[in-house]
């Protein structure tokens, strides 16, 4: 139960970081059109979005490996077989 809760929180944190990163990138684009762009905002937005994607992919991969666990045991597959 605790592992599932951790995966959900990791996925939510990843989604939040993606959202904040995309907002930062949009603010950068708006500031770029006005000529007052700060390149640190571009780097921060890209870094936050990339970190969020990384967290979401890791959580999804771990969650997917837990699916059909009972069926795999019934068929005789061991975790190292996959």
For residues 29 and 21, give the distance between their C-alpha atoms in angstroms, rounded to a whole number: 12
- Which pTM was predicted? 0.72
Rounded to 5°, angle at Cα 65 from 68 and 49:
135
For residues 49 and 32, give the distance between their C-alpha atoms in angstroms, rounded to a whole number: 19
**Cβ contact 10:51 at 8 Å:** no
In this predicted model, what pLDDT tens digit does every residue of 2-52 receive, in sequence order?
A: 777 888 888 899 999 999 999 999 999 999 999 998 999 999 999 999 999
């Amino acid at each position: 139960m605790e592992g599932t809760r951790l995966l959900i929180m990791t996925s939510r944190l990843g989604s939040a970081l993606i959202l904040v990163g995309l907002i930062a990138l949009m603010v950068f684009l708006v500031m770029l059109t006005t000529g007052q762009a700060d390149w640190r905002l571009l780097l921060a937005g890209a870094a936050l979005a990339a970190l969020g994607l990384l967290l979401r992919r890791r959580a999804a991969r771990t969650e997917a490996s837990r699916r059909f666990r009972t069926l795999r045991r019934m068929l005789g597959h061991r975790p190292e077989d996959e």
